[in-house]
Structures are given as C-alpha cells and as structure tokens.
Amino acid sequence: MSADLFGTFTNVRPRYARDSSGHVTAYDVERDGVVLGRLWWDSTVDAASYVPSPSQGDIAMNVGMGWMRRLSDAKARGLPVQEAVAELLLPGAVPKHFGALAPGSRREFTSPDEVRIF
C-alpha cells in the first residue's frame, strides 16, 4: 500500500467486507488433522474472513494471511464470495502449508463472533 502526495492511500487490495450482522457459513481450515482456523462468509453482504484458532498461535495467524490473500485475489477477479469459497475448496487451490478447507466441517453460525469460539 502506498499514499499519494495528499496522504490518500492508493493501490489498496480489493477485499470482501469483514463483518456481518447475520448468519454466516464457515469451514474449518485444517493441516495434518489440526484445526488452524475457520474461513467464514456471508453471501448476502459479500463478506468473508479468516479467524485463527487461538490455541494454534503464530502458525494460525501466518496461515491466515495466505487465506486472506486468496480471498482478496478472488475479489479482484470479481467473484461473488460464495464462488470464491467454492474455488478454495478445489484441490490445489492453496499451497499445502496453508492447510485446506475441510469439506465435512461446513457449519452455520449465528454471527462472525460465534465463529471465533473454538
């Protein structure tokens, strides 16, 4: 990110909204059988984000940056959030060290705050 002469930020990466006031859907992000975090989305407001598992510390935070980058890339290509998530479910969509979305872990939550409870 950079700023012009007037202090206005330029070249800001596109992103989905990171908050929702309604129900959200989420998948666990797993690597080697360990839940590193959750990827959630709400297609009604075009919102999505990654929530790291507190018990996984820095590893979960670092992996989350990769997932957020993939979401940003999808937004830049104009994909609706549900299509972006479907794409991230495909084998090889993300490097192995990011983990993978566990298809059997899909759940509905009442809010993004509930997603943060591990």
Express each pLDDT in 9-46 by its tens digit: 556 788 999 999 999 999 999 999 999 999 999 999 99
- Does the pTM surpass 0.95? The reply is no
Handedness of CA 58, 97, 14, 86 (dihedral sign): negative
Residue extents of the structural domains in the chain: 15-115
Tell me the pLDDT tens digit for each residue of 66-116: 999 999 999 999 999 999 999 999 999 999 999 999 999 999 999 999 999
- Which residue carries 């297609």 as its tokens? 43
Q: Is there a contact between 52 and 64 (Cβ–Cβ < 8 Å)?
A: yes
| DSSP H or E segment with residue 28 | strand 24-31
